[in-house]
């Protein structure tokens, strides 16, 4: 049975790699062999990298919100979630 510590240790394999890995189901299958061979990948989400501080779990990447438009496309909303305080 996996423990929280096991999961936390495995998360480093999803954030520290140099190979980008998109999470679309068509592309994700190509990432599994790299992980099963002990390699790391850098997970990309829908709006950018899924970077977070492995010690706190906090997001360390700003996230730009997108709006769906009638055509089915996306456009920038102008809103950004800032991951931390600004200098």
Write the pLDDT tens digit of every residue in 39-54: 888 887 766 777 777 7
Domain residue ranges in the chain: 4-81
- Rounded distance between C-alpha atoms, residue 72 and residue 84, angstroms: 32
Count of positions (residues) in the chain: 87
Rounded to two decimals, the pTM is 0.52
Residue 86: the pLDDT is 65
Residue 76: the pLDDT is 84
Write the pLDDT tens digit of every residue in 8-67: 777 788 777 777 777 766 667 777 788 888 888 888 776 677 777 777 777 777 778 888
Helix residue spans in the chain (DSSP H): 4-15, 25-36
45 close to 81: Cβ distance less than 8 angstroms: no
- Rounded distance between C-alpha atoms, residue 8 and residue 57, angstroms: 9
């Amino acid at each position: 049975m996996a423990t929280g510590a096991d999961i936390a240790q495995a998360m480093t394999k999803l954030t520290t790699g140099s190979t980008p890995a998109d999470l679309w189901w068509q592309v994700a299958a190509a990432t599994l062999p790299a992980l099963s061979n002990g390699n790391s990948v850098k997970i990309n989400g829908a709006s950018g990298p899924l970077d977070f501080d492995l010690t706190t779990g906090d997001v360390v990447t700003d996230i730009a919100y997108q709006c769906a438009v009638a055509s089915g496309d996306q456009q920038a909303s102008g809103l950004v979630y800032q991951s931390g305080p600004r200098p």
